[in-house]
């Protein structure tokens, strides 16, 4: 039974990674940049719910909605102020800027909320699921996390395939210049992408903090990096890829924590990134792009 | 032919200013120390200044000259620190400190070079963002492994395990060198400001001469245009690997200096994690990407400022991040570049028309 | 024997046959033009010749040596140098260093010798400087040696690219639209430079060009490419008067 428990915990963690990875992969696919600050938007989302529920006594669901709004505004602002001026600049410059934004968010949180760990109240108040006469307990937050991430993944896939904005995103990801010529508002489309990615980050933040109820200014950075690993694993730019990559990564991390070494579990996760990039740089579901000479 | 001679002396002059700056700073600091004008707080920072300056120069070789972003240099520093500390601890009683430190230095640099080389083989095939994230991954892996490693030596030889100190199965005469997360304790304190300055000068000598050599030119050609570099017969993988390995090995030198300045060495997120890698990157960016002298100045200033302005220490990283973003946008935004180009053209055009009128 | 010879060269991208059954034979010292409408596969042929792409079929022979499937750097060592349609200079390096990078293989010394400034370093660098300045003079760029390459004018950048290619001491020089974006005066000057390079260095040159004045002015032989296949081949004037070629260019 312990294997099943570890597996389920892994899927739960993996669903959170999947949600974060969805944001990463959309932004990477469309704006062609690694938004290093994405993980820190999760942290902001977590704090927003924390303040709403613990300080303002809001209904958890209302707090989540507010948190999504906060993160959406934050994401769009970051894109507008820091990233848009650098569109067309070298990827190195954009990445360094994104690292700067990541640090900025962490340090603002540090000043506002302090470095002490905040005990996050689980917003999922449903009863736990008990199987096999209580031998295997699945926490309700786990169930909710998995369901939410599946719904979001499916919703996003439909959104990209069926809506006008979604198709505009695909067009921009293929060729910004051509998309512009076809009358697509490239800047607007990228802003929408950031908005969606950031609101997903808020959801991920809430679920992450509900499952692991310790909130600090650095809460988002490691899961953020791991979610990027998940996005690469699944094939960057691919929505189902991000989902699969996230789940697999969560499972691998939890199983290696349980059966190999808790100290080395991060090392194992990162080794996967390296192996994937060496063996199949495009990830499980990604596409190859060749440079034009 | 005149322009050529002037050009060569221009770069040489630039390099000499850099060496001169370091030597002059050293002399001034030594005079101030001997006349008692330096607080113990600042005295404690003298070796860290050199450490961070060296690792910043090393990273600038990767970022500015090779044109790739490494977020794993704290990992290479970590390798240099631990291998050299283990060596020095093992021979603490049996060797005089001078030769022991020299050997420790070589071992630290060589181990970091070896790890850099091994990491570089797969990593340098990747591009841009992937490369950055994979170097970050390697840095974290190195830190994690060292945190889980136990290493000891006794009359039977070397023992190591990833479990715990007891699993080393050592004899009574044995000495535990690395105690997992507790790290290395009792490293001889062989670092000093003088040693640090000498190592910084050596690092500068290597990096500056490298840049102005045939190899450095090939590396920068690859940075500026990989496809064109290949078309003129430059072996891209080879030269990238040389630059990266050299950069890693110099980061290892910084690690040696760091390790021998502390009696206890731990691989913590704050000294060898990716946060440290990013802090080094901040030094490089604020000092100017590709500007070696700038890296040194930035490393020293940014280490010094928060210590002097204790009241501001809460805001330190906040300020760094804002300055970092602002500098990147100002220096790299296509609009800003276009604006500067226009400005320059207008100035030169103005000068030309003045000439024509005259 | 011809210096450059290709036999039945072909490559596909996905379902598209970009180049098919391409045969060419360039004699030593010839100025040879490769023309054709946009998208005919001209640059693809350059990319095949320089190992950027691997041909699906066919063979490339340079001076009798089989270069088919070799890597770009080996092809450069074998003696083919090129310029690019969209200029590819080392923008942050000086004009002089751009040419010295081209000399890379001819004045070798180790990284160690470079760092520790052994006598070999000084000797090689001195010789490289001399050689590079000589080349810059040929292209009228000697006064710009210390400029950053990206700060040169467009026409100068094109010339610098040729100078850099010449520094590798090739047997065959490939020029991809050298006159693109130049005004008539610059083009005329460029024609003189190309002729001078051919005569002075006894160079064999294969060039892609749209400017018919330049092509008819300096090329001795032409190959016309259309939809990846050879449409006509032969002496310049004959080819340019070929009704099929005129149709391909002007359309019906």
The reported pLDDT for the residue numbered C183 is: 86
Asked if B234 is an interface residue toward chain C (Cβ–Cβ < 8 A), one would say yes
Residue C251 has pLDDT above 70, yes or no: no
Residue C135 has pLDDT above 90, yes or no: yes
DSSP-assigned states of every residue in B231-252: HTT--HHHHHHHHHHHHHHHHH
The reported pLDDT for the residue numbered B354 is: 56
Q: Confidence band (pLDDT; 50, 70, 90) for C46?
A: very high
Q: What is the DSSP letter of B261?
A: T
Percentage of chain B modeled with pLDDT above 90 = 49
Name the percent of chain C in helix, strand, coil, to the closest 5: 40, 25, 35
Q: Which two tokens stand for residue B89?
A: 């601890």
**Domain-located, residue A143:** yes
Average pLDDT rounded to a whole number, residues B188-192: 91
- Terminal alpha carbon distance of chain C: 39
In chain B, residues with a C-beta closer than 8 Å to the C-beta of A101 are 321, 325
Q: Which two tokens stand for residue C16?
A: 């598209």
Q: Confidence band (pLDDT; 50, 70, 90) for B4?
A: very low
The reported pLDDT for the residue numbered B350 is: 63
pLDDT tens-digit profile of A247-291? 999 999 999 988 887 778 888 888 888 888 878 877 787 765 555
Residue A203 structural domain: 14-221
Asked if C79 is an interface residue toward chain B (Cβ–Cβ < 8 A), one would say no
Query: Which has the minimum average pLDDT: A215-229, B246-260, C18-32, C137-151?
Result: A215-229
Pairing verdict, β C80-82 and C65-66: unpaired
Q: Do B63 and A293 touch (CB under 8 A)?
A: no
State the Cα–Cα distance between residues B72 and B82, nearest whole angstrom: 16
State the Cα–Cα distance between residues B82 and B87, nearest whole angstrom: 8
The reported pLDDT for the residue numbered B123 is: 85
The reported pLDDT for the residue numbered C243 is: 86
Q: How far is B226 from chain C (nearest CA, A)?
A: 9
State the Cα–Cα distance between residues B214 and B220, nearest whole angstrom: 10
Angle between helices B292-308 and B193-211 (to 10 degrees): 150
State the Cα–Cα distance between residues B170 and B176, nearest whole angstrom: 8
The reported pLDDT for the residue numbered A70 is: 95
State the Cα–Cα distance between residues A22 and A237, nearest whole angstrom: 9
The residue that leads in pLDDT, B234 or A87, is B234
Q: Which two tokens stand for residue A3?
A: 């294997």
**Domain-located, residue A60:** yes
CA C149, distance to chain mean position in Å, is 19
**Domain-located, residue A271:** no
pLDDT tens-digit profile of C63-115? 989 999 999 999 999 999 999 999 999 999 999 999 999 999 999 999 999 99
In chain B, residues with a C-beta closer than 8 Å to the C-beta of A273 are 133-134, 137
Asked if C9 is an interface residue toward chain B (Cβ–Cβ < 8 A), one would say no
Angle between helices A265-279 and A221-234 (to 10 degrees): 30
In chain A, residues with a C-beta closer than 8 Å to the C-beta of C47 are 293
A228 → chain B, closest CA residue: B133
Contacts of C158 by beta carbon, 8 Å cutoff, 6+ apart: C83, C87, C178, C179, C180, C182, C190
Q: Confidence band (pLDDT; 50, 70, 90) for B2?
A: very low
Question: Please, are residues B85 and A111 in contact by the beta-carbon 8 Å criterion?
Answer: no
Helix (H) or strand (E) holding B265: strand B264-265
Half-sphere exposure of C108 (CA within 13 A, CB side): 5
- CA dist A228 → A28, A36, B140, C88 (Å): 10, 9, 15, 33
Q: Work out the mean pLDDT of chain B and round it to a whole number.
A: 87
The reported pLDDT for the residue numbered C113 is: 94
Q: Confidence band (pLDDT; 50, 70, 90) for B355?
A: low
Average pLDDT rounded to a whole number, residues A33-56: 90
Q: How far is A89 from chain C (nearest CA, A)?
A: 15
Question: Please, are residues B146 and B178 in contact by the beta-carbon 8 Å criterion?
Answer: yes
pLDDT tens-digit profile of C163-201? 999 999 999 999 999 988 888 888 898 899 999 999 989
Pairing verdict, β C31-35 and C204-208: parallel
Name the percent of chain B in helix, strand, coil, to the closest 5: 75, 5, 20
The reported pLDDT for the residue numbered B5 is: 44
Nearest residue to C164 (alpha-carbon basis) of C94, C109, C108, C110: C94
Nearest residue to B65 (alpha-carbon basis) of C145, A90, A98, C92: C92
Q: Please count the helices (runs of H) and the strands (runs of E) in chain B.
A: 14, 5
Interface test with B, best of A35, A88, A95, A108 (most B CBs within 10 A): A95
The reported pLDDT for the residue numbered B357 is: 52
Question: Please, are residues C27 and C86 in contact by the beta-carbon 8 Å criterion?
Answer: no
Query: Which has the minimum average pLDDT: A25-29, B117-121, C149-153?
Result: A25-29
CATH of domain C1-79+170-252: 3.40.50.300
The residue that leads in pLDDT, A198 or A123, is A198
Q: Which two tokens stand for residue B106?
A: 């070589």
In chain B, residues with a C-beta closer than 8 Å to the C-beta of A89 are 332-334
Pairing verdict, β C65-66 and C57-62: antiparallel
Q: What does the angle CA B346 – CA B351 – CA B353 come to, to the nearest 5 degrees?
A: 95
Q: Do A106 and B140 touch (CB under 8 A)?
A: no
pTM here is 0.89
Which three-class secondary structure state does DSSP give residue A119? strand
CB count in 10 Å sphere of residue C143: 11
The reported pLDDT for the residue numbered B358 is: 47
The residue that leads in pLDDT, A118 or A46, is A46
CA B301, distance to chain mean position in Å, is 16
Q: Confidence band (pLDDT; 50, 70, 90) for B255?
A: very high
Q: How far is B169 from chain A (nearest CA, A)?
A: 20
C95 → chain B, closest CA residue: B4
The reported pLDDT for the residue numbered B3 is: 43
CB count in 10 Å sphere of residue C112: 12
Residue B44 has pLDDT above 80, yes or no: yes
C83 → chain A, closest CA residue: A293
Burial classification of residue A113, based on how many CB atoms lie within 10 Å of its CB (0-12 exposed, 13-18 middle, 19 or more buried):
middle
The residue that leads in pLDDT, C119 or C250, is C119
Q: Where along chain C do its domains lie?
A: 1-79+170-252, 94-169
Average pLDDT rounded to a whole number, residues B78-90: 94
Average pLDDT rounded to a whole number, residues B320-329: 86
Q: Do B329 and A104 touch (CB under 8 A)?
A: no
State the Cα–Cα distance between residues A13 and A223, nearest whole angstrom: 10
What is the dihedral sign for C-alpha B187, B190, B191, B192? positive
Asked if C129 is an interface residue toward chain B (Cβ–Cβ < 8 A), one would say yes
Interface test with B, best of A85, A89, A100, A278 (most B CBs within 10 A): A100
In chain B, residues with a C-beta closer than 8 Å to the C-beta of C166 are none
Average pLDDT rounded to a whole number, residues C35-49: 90
Residue B52 has pLDDT above 90, yes or no: yes
The reported pLDDT for the residue numbered B222 is: 96
Q: Which two tokens stand for residue B167?
A: 């699993």
Residue B7 has pLDDT above 50, yes or no: no
State the Cα–Cα distance between residues B113 and B102, nearest whole angstrom: 16
Question: Please, are residues B277 and B73 in contact by the beta-carbon 8 Å criterion?
Answer: yes
**ipTM computed for the complex:** 0.92
Question: Please, are residues B219 and B240 in contact by the beta-carbon 8 Å criterion?
Answer: yes
Average pLDDT rounded to a whole number, residues A59-76: 92
State the Cα–Cα distance between residues B123 and B118, nearest whole angstrom: 9
**Domains held by chain A: number:** 1
Residue B302 has pLDDT above 50, yes or no: yes
Strands (E), chain C: 4-13, 16-26, 31-35, 57-62, 65-66, 80-82, 172-176, 204-208, 221-226, 229-235
B234 → chain C, closest CA residue: C73
DSSP-assigned states of every residue in B67-133: ----S-HHHHHHHHHHHHHHHHHHTTTTS-HHHHHHHHHHHHHHHHHHHHHHHHHHHTTS-HHHHHH
DSSP-assigned states of every residue in B172-190: TT-EEEEEGGG-EE-----
Against chain A, the chains showing at least 3 CB pairs within 8 Å are B, C
Q: How far is C131 from chain A (nearest CA, A)?
A: 29
Question: Please, are residues A284 and A249 in contact by the beta-carbon 8 Å criterion?
Answer: no
In chain B, residues with a C-beta closer than 8 Å to the C-beta of C98 are 221
Q: How far is A80 from chain B (nearest CA, A)?
A: 12
The reported pLDDT for the residue numbered B356 is: 53
Which three-class secondary structure state does DSSP give residue C54? coil
Q: Confidence band (pLDDT; 50, 70, 90) for B259?
A: very high
């Amino acid at each position: 039974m312990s294997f099943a428990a570890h597996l389920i915990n892994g899927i739960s963690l993996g669903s959170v990674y999947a949600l974060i990875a969805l944001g990463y992969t959309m932004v990477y696919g469309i704006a062609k940049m690694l938004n290093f600050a994405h993980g820190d938007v999760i942290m902001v989302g977590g704090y927003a719910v924390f303040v709403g529920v613990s300080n303002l006594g809001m209904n958890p669901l209302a707090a989540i909605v507010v948190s999504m709004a906060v993160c959406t505004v934050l994401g769009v602002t970051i894109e507008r102020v820091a990233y848009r001026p650098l569109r067309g600049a070298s990827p190195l410059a954009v990445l360094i800027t994104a690292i700067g934004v990541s640090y900025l968010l962490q340090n603002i949180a540090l000043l506002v909320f302090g470095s002490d760990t905040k005990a996050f109240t689980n917003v999922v108040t449903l009863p736990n699921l008990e199987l096999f006469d209580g031998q295997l307990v699945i926490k309700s937050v786990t169930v909710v996390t998995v369901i939410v991430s599946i719904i979001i993944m499916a919703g996003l896939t439909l959104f990209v395939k069926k809506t006008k904005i979604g198709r505009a995103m695909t067009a921009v990801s293929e060729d910004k210049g051509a998309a512009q010529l076809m009358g697509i508002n490239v800047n607007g489309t990228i802003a929408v992408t950031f908005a969606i990615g950031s609101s997903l980050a808020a959801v991920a933040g809430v679920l992450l903090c509900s499952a692991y109820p310790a909130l600090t200014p650095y809460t988002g950075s490691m899961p953020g990096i791991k979610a990027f690993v998940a996005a690469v694993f699944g094939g960057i730019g691919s929505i189902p890829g991000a989902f699969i990559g996230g789940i697999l990564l969560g499972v691998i991390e939890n199983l290696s924590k349980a059966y190999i070494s808790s100290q080395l579990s991060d090392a194992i996760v990162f080794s996967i990134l390296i192996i994937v990039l060496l063996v199949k740089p495009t990830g499980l579901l990604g596409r190859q792009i060749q440079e034009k000479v | 032919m005149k322009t050529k001679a002037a050009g060569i002396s221009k770069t040489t002059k630039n390099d000499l200013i850099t060496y001169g700056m370091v030597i002059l700073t050293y002399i001034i600091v030594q005079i101030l120390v001997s006349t008692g004008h330096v607080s113990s707080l600042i005295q404690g920072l003298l070796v860290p200044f050199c450490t961070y300056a060296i690792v910043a120069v090393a990273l600038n070789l990767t970022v500015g000259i090779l044109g790739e972003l490494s977020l794993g240099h704290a990992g290479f520093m970590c390798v240099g620190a631990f291998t050299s500390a283990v060596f020095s601890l093992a021979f603490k009683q049996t060797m005089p400190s001078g030769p022991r430190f020299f050997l420790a230095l070589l071992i630290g640099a060589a181990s970091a070079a070896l790890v850099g080389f091994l990491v570089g083989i797969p990593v340098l095939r990747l591009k841009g963002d992937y490369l950055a994230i994979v170097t970050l991954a390697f840095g974290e892996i190195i830190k994690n492994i060292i945190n889980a490693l136990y290493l000891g030596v006794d009359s039977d030889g070397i023992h190591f395990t990833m479990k715990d100190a007891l699993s080393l199965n050592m004899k009574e005469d044995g000495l535990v060198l690395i105690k997992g997360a507790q790290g290395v304790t009792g490293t001889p304190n062989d670092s000093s400001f003088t040693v640090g300055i000498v190592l910084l000068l050596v690092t500068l000598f290597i990096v500056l001469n490298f840049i102005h050599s045939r190899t450095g030119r090939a590396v920068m050609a690859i940075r500026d245009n990989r496809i064109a570099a290949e078309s003129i017969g430059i072996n891209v993988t080879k030269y990238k690997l040389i630059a990266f390995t050299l950069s890693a090995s110099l980061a290892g030198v910084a690690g040696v200096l760091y390790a021998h300045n502390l009696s206890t060495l731990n691989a913590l997120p704050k000294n060898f994690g990716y946060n440290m890698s990013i802090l080094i990157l901040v030094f490089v960016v604020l000092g100017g990407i590709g500007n070696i002298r700038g890296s040194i100045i930035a490393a020293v200033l940014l280490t010094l400022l928060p210590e002097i302005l204790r009241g501001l220490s809460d805001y330190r990283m906040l300020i760094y991040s804002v300055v970092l973003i602002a500098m990147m946008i100002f220096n790299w935004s296509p609009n800003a570049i276009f604006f500067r180009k226009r400005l320059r053209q207008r100035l030169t055009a103005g000068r030309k028309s003045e000439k024509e009128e005259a | 024997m011809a210096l450059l010879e290709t036999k039945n060269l072909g490559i596909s991208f996905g379902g598209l046959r970009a180049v098919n059954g391409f045969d060419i034979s360039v004699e030593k010292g010839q100025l040879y033009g490769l023309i054709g409408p946009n998208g005919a596969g001209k640059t693809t042929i350059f990319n095949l010749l320089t190992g950027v792409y691997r041909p699906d079929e066919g063979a490339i022979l340079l001076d009798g040596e089989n270069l088919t499937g070799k890597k770009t750097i080996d092809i450069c060592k074998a003696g083919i140098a090129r310029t690019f349609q969209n200029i590819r200079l080392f923008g942050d390096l000086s004009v002089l260093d751009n040419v010295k990078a081209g000399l890379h293989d001819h004045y070798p010394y180790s990284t160690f010798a470079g760092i520790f400034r052994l006598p070999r370093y000084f000797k090689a660098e001195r010789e490289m400087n001399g050689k590079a300045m000589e080349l810059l003079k040929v292209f009228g760029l000697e006064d710009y040696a210390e400029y950053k390459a990206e700060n040169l004018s467009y026409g100068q950048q094109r010339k610098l690219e040729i100078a850099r290619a010449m520094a590798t001491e090739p047997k065959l020089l490939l020029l991809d639209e050298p006159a693109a974006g130049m005004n008539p005066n610059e083009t005329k000057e460029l024609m003189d430079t190309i002729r001078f390079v051919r005569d002075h260095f006894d160079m064999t040159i294969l060039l892609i060009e749209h400017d018919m004045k330049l092509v008819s002015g300096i090329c001795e032989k032409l190959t016309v490419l259309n939809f990846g296949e050879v449409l006509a081949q032969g002496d310049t004037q004959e080819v340019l008067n070929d009704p099929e070629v005129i149709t391909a260019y002007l359309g019906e």
